[in-house]
Amino acid sequence: MKTTFGSSPGAALDGLARAISDEVAGFVRDEREIAKLQARQARRLARAVGLAESKAELLQGGLTPKAREWARRSLRAEVACASRRSEGAVSRLIADAETLVSDLPSTLAALEAGEVSYAHARLVVVHAGSLPIEARAGFEHAVLPQAREKNPARFDDAARHLREVHHPESITRRAVLAREERAVWLDAERDGMATLHHHLSAVDALAIHDVIDQAARAARSDAEPRTQAQLRSDILADRILGRADGLAGFVPSVIVTVPAVVLAGCESDPTDSLPSIPADPPAELHGYGPIDPGTARRIAAAAPTFLRVLTHPATGDVIETAGRYRIPTALREVLVVADEHCRFPGCGRRAARCELDHTVDWAHGGRSTASNLAHLCTSHHHLKHEGGWQVARPPDTGPASRTLEWRSPLGATYRTTPPARASCNDPPPF
């Protein structure tokens, strides 16, 4: 359908911009209403479980474990049939609903208010579920402000780190137990395809993925019909099955950020003068999240293909960088650590796979300093220069802040701030 807005091109453009803004605003309102309805569904499912168990108790003259299980199975089948869902999906919805109602009331209230989506609420459930019950309230209080500000992917990163902060058990002990679960298994798919799962340490997984990605990028050409994803799959299969040496010559480009006390190798109380720092502070594997200090020490000592970034344990400031890495200058190394991801709102592409952009363009007098450089993926780099999006350093955040403020072609503004896990000061221009 064609709509006419005004008699002049300027009036038509203004009318189209207003119409687009109205549709976007309407979409956001609909999202909030959907969240409210999903919160209502969660409460209904939790109540239905209680009612089903009460019914079983009346029928059996008591609620035995077997009676409770059959009541739940019957309810699960009832909801699945009525809503045309699988019983497995309904089982997950019921489990989420019970957790939200009983353990995470503030998250459920935020969902009811339309402040967070169900995807955000479910991530709170998942991360809180791996914490002891007594630690969940503190985690929920800390994580909800992040849920209100970030998209689910970026919120998942933030929640993973906050879970680490609130977990009372040592990350070293948990890492030892988790490594016992490493495995490989196969899921049959349709149309002659299958999914091969490899559950392994995050360090090895990230290094493998990085090498495969490098090889796939090197194989791209105008004559190559395969996509990046297809090339990654083919190169890995060829390498494992010995059909070709598709990974020869490639080494992983992986960054680990290590608190200085970790490299000291102290096991008892390395932070007496810093009481707010845990006895075994986790290191940060970029592109994944927290890792145990033992693994970080091994990387720093014996893995020359990793970039080790040493940080102050209390402030997170970068103290030094060391190790082999493809980015040639100290400034680039520090900024990869400081930005972590593409700095466009919601983008999760790793900074090591992005381009450094001058916030104030070089052609307009912008300098090549940390305060004027930020990582953008190729797509969002083009969007800034060709798509009408504008970016600036907001003056109210201070000279050391890495906050960026984006302005869309419709006039909406969005701020992005990298995780406060490493900071940098301006080195000399390069």
For residue range 307-318, list pLDDT tens digits in order.
Answer: 556 565 555 555
pLDDT digits (tens, 9 = 90+) for 337-373: 888 889 999 888 888 888 888 888 876 777 777 788 8
Lowest mean pLDDT among 46-60, 83-97, 108-122, 385-399: 385-399
CB-based contact 357:381 (threshold 8 Å) = yes
The pLDDT of residue 67 is: 87
Q: Is the pLDDT of residue 3 over 80?
A: no
Model confidence at 26, in pLDDT bands (50, 70, 90)? very high
Q: Is the pLDDT of residue 185 over 50?
A: yes
Q: Is the pLDDT of residue 267 over 90?
A: no
pLDDT digits (tens, 9 = 90+) for 214-245: 889 888 888 889 999 999 999 898 888 877 66
Q: What is the mean pLDDT of residues 131-142?
A: 93
Nearest to 239 by CA among 214, 212, 213, 219: 212
- HSE, CB side, 13 Å, CA atoms: give it for residue 265: 4
The pLDDT of residue 425 is: 52
Q: Is the pLDDT of residue 27 over 90?
A: yes
Q: Is the pLDDT of residue 65 over 70?
A: yes
CA distance 170 to 159: 18
CB-based contact 325:300 (threshold 8 Å) = no
CATH 1.10.10 assigned to domain 29-167? The reply is yes
Model confidence at 378, in pLDDT bands (50, 70, 90)? confident
Using DSSP bridges, classify how beta strands 289-291 and 283-285 pair: parallel, antiparallel or unpaired: antiparallel
Using DSSP bridges, classify how beta strands 194-199 and 254-259 pair: parallel, antiparallel or unpaired: unpaired
**8-state DSSP, 138:** H
112-131: burial string, b at 16+ Cβ within 10 Å, e else = bebbbbbebbbbbbebbeeb
Domain map (residue ranges) of the chain = 29-167, 201-249, 254-322, 339-416
